[in-house]
Amino acid sequence: MVHWGQVGSIALSWVISPLLAGAIAYSLFKSVNVFILDTHDPFQRAKRVIPVYMWMVGFMISMVTLLKGLKHVGLDIDLGLGSTFANAVPISVGAGLLVAALGVVLMRRIKDVPDEMHRYRSVERVFGVLMIFTACAMAFAHGSNDVANAVGPVSAIVSTVKSGGAVAATAAVPWWILLVGAVGIVVGLVTYGWRVILTVGSEITELTPSRAFAATLAAAATVVFASGTGLPISTTHTLVGAILGVGFARGIGALNLGVIGSIFVSWIITLPAGAALAIVFFLMFKGTFGI
């Protein structure tokens, strides 16, 4: 009764997505070193280069939204340029420019304050502004994938009940299910989320705004791409892979191998543990209700 081919592609994505995010994060952080940190005046160079990264964030989110997302809410933007892709490009370019312009306005408030103990302190403050946008991109990616994983079975059940037991290949998602998913992720974040924040944010490798920017943008790009193709990957898997990529860019000594080993073991355990518990609960319900 299991579609093993589909399961295989999902399992493969769990391996590919952290590797892809790590490679992108590695490249991004290396570009930060080359174009900003290793220059004669890192602060002024940061103010010139970081808007380009901001444009990338705005362009990426806009493109995926226009190509994959708006059709599900009944919106179709047509500029008369032919294909959906051709219509999306100029809009996304404009969206990226708006994001970059907003970032420039915010960065103007940051002044270069010399610090003999930390040469890049002012530069990292500029990257802190960029982190606002990359964090929003990561939140967008998380909602488009992980929350969709949670509400997917619920929407299928509701559709089956409404149709009198007929199982449809696709089903519309009622707005109240989306609201339940949104409330659930917020409650989870404010109650137990701090544990994951602590592990991902500080225990894998030391993160600064410039390093965290590379990790979050790489993870967001990977997750958004996967969402557009329909792969239900894990956002946490992908972000950990991106952080590992940043750590490798600094050297293997910058990584906490003990924590990384524990994370990998947990990834291996969760799939069979979830399957085993699902079997137990199903047999309990079957015995209780005779289904």
> Could you list the pLDDT tens digit for every one of the 291 residues in the chain?
888 887 787 778 778 888 888 898 899 888 888 888 888 888 888 888 888 888 988 887 787 777 665 655 556 666 666 666 777 788 888 988 998 898 888 888 888 777 666 667 888 888 888 888 888 877 777 777 677 778 888 888 887 787 776 666 566 677 788 888 888 888 888 888 887 777 777 777 777 888 888 888 888 888 777 766 666 677 778 888 888 888 888 777 777 778 878 888 887 888 889 889 999 999 998 888 876
pLDDT at position 115 is 65
Strand partners, 91: none
pLDDT at position 84 is 67
pLDDT at position 246 is 85
Q: Of 7, 242, 287, 47, whose CA–CA distance to 141 is shortest? A: 242
pLDDT at position 247 is 83
pLDDT at position 18 is 85
| Residue-by-residue DSSP string for 69-114 | IGGGGT-----SSSSHHHHHHHHHHHHHHHHHHHHHHHHTT-----
179 close to 191: Cβ distance less than 8 angstroms: no
pLDDT at position 212 is 84
pLDDT at position 116 is 61
Please tell me the distance from the alpha carbon of residue 89 to that of residue 97, in angstroms, as a whole number. 12
DSSP state of 41: S
10 close to 226: Cβ distance less than 8 angstroms: no
- Cα atoms found within 13 Å of the Cα of residue 166, Cβ hemisphere only: 7
pLDDT at position 279 is 93
Please tell me the distance from the alpha carbon of residue 271 to that of residue 191, in angstroms, as a whole number. 24
pLDDT at position 276 is 93
Ramachandran area for residue 172 (φ above 0: left; ψ -120 to 50: alpha; else beta)? beta
Tokens of 171: 């089903």
Enumerate residues 6+ apart whose C-beta is below 8 A from 205. 211, 243, 244, 246, 247, 250, 254, 255, 256
Q: Compute how many other C-beta atoms are within 10 angstroms of the C-beta atom of residue 231.
A: 17
pLDDT at position 175 is 78
Tokens of 271: 């799939």
pLDDT at position 88 is 78
Please tell me the distance from the alpha carbon of residue 261 to that of residue 176, in angstroms, as a whole number. 39
